[in-house]
């Protein structure tokens, strides 16, 4: 490929060089817009800007333009009011897509002259959350970023060739920024501007390009099911995954369907890339990354992507082999004490994952009358079948019995929550504070609405029934079934949200319950309101049949 370093990205214009697609942008356009933005920022006297842009090409323009103007860039994780308040005193200007902020295309003065960027003077601040969820600032200069993308090209550039880069991860964080934006920008590979959030979107984008590669998260890759055209997708040049652990069964499924193992990247905002692997093996450090351990077995890292002489002390326990490869043994900062006994949450999570029913698991401390452990568990298909056939108590007891061979009775979780998926944040993290908040929260009583479609005043909703729905406990303990009264209540409640319904409930008509709705099921709810007759028609359907249907009679309030 025709490599251009980040430092030289704003020198000679290359109109023949494609930068981004959907819509198309070439290097000449990118360069011109960045130099115009640089002139505008300099005219405004800006010294520090916050940048949050959904379009990866706009993000590249903002970064290059700010650096050209000598402006330091902060990449906030989101644009929530509390985030803006936290960083407002640190920045002069917000470059975002939001109304009231400045957008890079809004700044249109005469451009600055082309110039080479100084890698030591161009700075980027990344915002990441630690295990507690408290935001943390990470400072990077252009030299560190430039060295890292060159290392990625040396490792995988030949395999990728002219592949279009398609990403499911946000470019606001280090993995998405490097793999989706900066690396393809230097290598001359086009990238899809927008983040693709769903497997169907990834497939649609892939079909537009003869050669393509994915920059994905474990959350997306483990949701890629049988409904995709795997024959067409098998041409993917490489599948990258980072931001969290990719479950072994998901990696194996991709290998069977695509003929290649996903390439997992281990790293952090602080360190940049540390190591990579394919398959369920040991991690191989990137070239130039030097690893060691402290007395507690924590991983120590010296890297060209860190300040000179700095050694990063992580909380990851590892086992380093003689050939330099290593295994991750869990987080040392997730060792908790219960009644003066030290308990490793990662060790118990690994033990749970070894059970044939469990796909994912996270443990936390429940601080109530007496501190104890709780477990968030995602059941696989076999586990869901057990839950539907045996009930909540039997599944809980089976998992406790399984864990009893790995720990003292004190460490057995007393509270269990079944989830459809773990609620990882945009950075692919699940802060411990979030785990413990979920364990303290009451069990859900509402369906999860996955999709809503309206046509001619009628609504079709795709609903997921929470595996841990509170109503299953009494109906029935050993064979949980969604009660009919709950189905009627959900239909009326959702109807009131979506339709202008009369306030008074009068009665029910023609109720039919034909198929059971069980924990973890996905069903479609169809709603239609006949205003003349004052009747709300509802029907729940699964993939093959109608589960239930009826009419709810409504009227105006009593005088």
Q: Is 70 exceeded by the pLDDT of residue 1?
A: no
Q: What is the pLDDT of residue 134?
A: 57
| Sequential DSSP letters for 409-436 | GGGS-SEEEEESS----TTS---HHHHH
Q: What is the pLDDT of residue 61?
A: 97
Digit-coded pLDDT (tens) for 145-178 = 999 999 999 999 999 999 999 999 999 999 999 9
User: In the 8-state DSSP scheme, what is residue 13?
Assistant: -
Predicted confidence band at 9 (pLDDT cuts at 50, 70, 90)? Answer: very high
Digit-coded pLDDT (tens) for 387-400 = 999 999 999 999 99
For residues 518 and 509, give the distance between their C-alpha atoms in angstroms, rounded to a whole number. Answer: 24
Secondary structure (3-state) at 284: strand
Element of type H or E holding 364: strand 358-366
Predicted confidence band at 559 (pLDDT cuts at 50, 70, 90)? Answer: very low
User: In the 8-state DSSP scheme, what is residue 46?
Assistant: -
Q: Is residue 322 packed enough to be buried (19+ CB in 10 Å), middle (13-18) or exposed (0-12)?
A: exposed
For the record, the structure tokens of 9 come out as 């990205």
Q: What is the pLDDT of residue 369?
A: 78
For residues 53 and 260, give the distance between their C-alpha atoms in angstroms, rounded to a whole number. Answer: 33
CB 322 within 8 A of CB 337: no
Phi-psi region of 243 (alpha: psi -120 to 50; beta: other; left: phi over 0): left
For residues 88 and 266, give the distance between their C-alpha atoms in angstroms, rounded to a whole number. Answer: 32
CB 219 within 8 A of CB 246: no
Residue 469, CB-side half-sphere exposure with 13 Å CA sphere: 28
Which range, 5-9, 270-274, 308-312, has the best average confidence (pLDDT)? 5-9
Digit-coded pLDDT (tens) for 14-69 = 999 999 999 999 999 999 999 999 999 999 999 999 999 999 999 999 999 999 99
CB 163 within 8 A of CB 154: no
Task: Give Cβ neighbours of residue 102 (< 8 Å, ≥ 6 apart).
Answer: 93, 94, 95, 96
User: Which whole number is the average pLDDT over 399-410?
Assistant: 91
Taking the alpha carbons at both ends of the chain, their separation in whole angstroms is 78
For residues 177 and 371, give the distance between their C-alpha atoms in angstroms, rounded to a whole number. Answer: 41
Digit-coded pLDDT (tens) for 55-95 = 999 999 999 999 999 999 999 988 888 889 989 999 999 99
Predicted confidence band at 558 (pLDDT cuts at 50, 70, 90)? Answer: low
User: Which whole number is the average pLDDT over 364-392?
Assistant: 94
| CA 91 to centroid of chain Cα atoms | 27
For residues 45 and 40, give the distance between their C-alpha atoms in angstroms, rounded to a whole number. Answer: 9
For residues 273 and 301, give the distance between their C-alpha atoms in angstroms, rounded to a whole number. Answer: 11
Q: Is 90 exceeded by the pLDDT of residue 386?
A: yes
Name the residue among 9, 17, 223 with its Cα closest to residue 122.
9
Q: What is the pLDDT of residue 129?
A: 55
For residues 393 and 444, give the distance between their C-alpha atoms in angstroms, rounded to a whole number. Answer: 17
CB 346 within 8 A of CB 331: yes
| Sequential DSSP letters for 377-388 | EEE-HHHHHHHH
Q: Is 60 exceeded by the pLDDT of residue 185?
A: yes
Q: How many CB atoms are located within 10 Å of the residue 157 CB?
A: 16
């Amino acid at each position: 490929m025709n490599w251009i370093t980040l430092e030289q990205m704003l020198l000679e214009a290359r109109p023949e060089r494609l930068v981004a697609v959907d819509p198309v942008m070439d290097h000449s356009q990118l360069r011109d817009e960045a130099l115009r933005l640089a002139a505008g920022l300099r005219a405004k006297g800006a010294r520090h800007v916050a940048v949050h842009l959904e379009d990866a090409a706009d993000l590249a323009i903002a970064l290059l333009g700010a650096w050209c103007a000598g402006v330091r860039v902060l990449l906030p994780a989101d644009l929530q009011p509390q985030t803006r308040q936290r960083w407002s005193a640190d920045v002069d200007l917000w470059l975002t897509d939001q109304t009231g902020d400045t957008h890079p295309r809004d700044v249109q003065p005469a451009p600055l002259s082309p110039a080479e960027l100084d890698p030591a003077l161009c700075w980027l601040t990344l915002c990441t959350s630690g295990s507690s969820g408290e935001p943390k600032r990470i400072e990077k200069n252009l030299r560190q970023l430039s060295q890292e993308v060159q290392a990625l090209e040396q490792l995988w550039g030949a395999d990728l060739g002219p592949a279009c880069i398609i990403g499911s991860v946000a470019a606001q964080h280090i993995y998405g920024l490097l793999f989706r934006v900066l690396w393809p920008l230097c290598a001359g590979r086009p990238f899809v501007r927008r983040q693709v959030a769903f497997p169907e979107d990834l497939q649609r984008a892939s079909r537009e390009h003869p050669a393509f590669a994915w920059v994905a998260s474990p959350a997306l890759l483990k949701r890629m099911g049988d409904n995709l055209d795997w024959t067409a997708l098998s041409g993917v040049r490489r599948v990258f995954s980072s931001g969290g652990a990719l479950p072994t069964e998901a990696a194996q499924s991709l290998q069977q369907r695509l003929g290649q193992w996903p390439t997992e990247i281990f790293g952090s905002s602080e360190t940049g890339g540390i190591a990579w692997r394919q398959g369920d093996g040991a991690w191989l450090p990137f070239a130039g990354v030097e690893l060691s351990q402290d007395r507690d077995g924590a991983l120590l890292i010296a890297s060209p992507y860190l300040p000179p002489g700095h050694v990063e002390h992580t909380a990851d326990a590892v086992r380093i082999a003689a050939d330099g490869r290593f295994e991750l043994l869990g987080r040392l900062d997730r060792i908790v004490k219960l009644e003066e006994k030290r308990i490793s949450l990662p060790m118990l999570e690994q033990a749970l994952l070894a059970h044939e029913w469990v796909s994912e698991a996270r443990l936390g401390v429940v601080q109530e009358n007496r501190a104890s452990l709780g477990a968030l568990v995602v059941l696989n298909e076999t586990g869901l079948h057990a839950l539907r056939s045996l009930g909540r108590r039997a599944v809980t007891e089976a998992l406790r019995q399984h864990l009893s061979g790995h720990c003292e009775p004190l460490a057995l979780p007393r509270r269990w929550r079944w989830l459809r998926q773990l609620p990882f944040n945009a950075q692919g993290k699940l802060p411990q504070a979030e785990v413990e908040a979920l364990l303290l929260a009451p069990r859900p009583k509402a369906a999860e609405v996955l999709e809503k479609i309206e046509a001619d005043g009628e609504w079709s909703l795709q609903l997921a029934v929470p595996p841990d729905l509170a109503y299953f406990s009494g109906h029935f303990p050993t064979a949980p079934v969604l009660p009919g009264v709950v189905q009627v209540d959900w239909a009326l409640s959702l109807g009131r949200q979506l339709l202008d319904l009369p306030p008074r409930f009068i009665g029910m008509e023609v109720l039919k319950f034909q198929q059971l709705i069980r924990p973890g099921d996905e069903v479609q709810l169809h709603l239609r309101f006949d205003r003349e007759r004052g009747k709300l028609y509802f029907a729940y359907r699964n993939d093959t049949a109608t589960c239930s249907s009826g009419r709810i009679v409504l009227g105006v309030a009593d005088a």
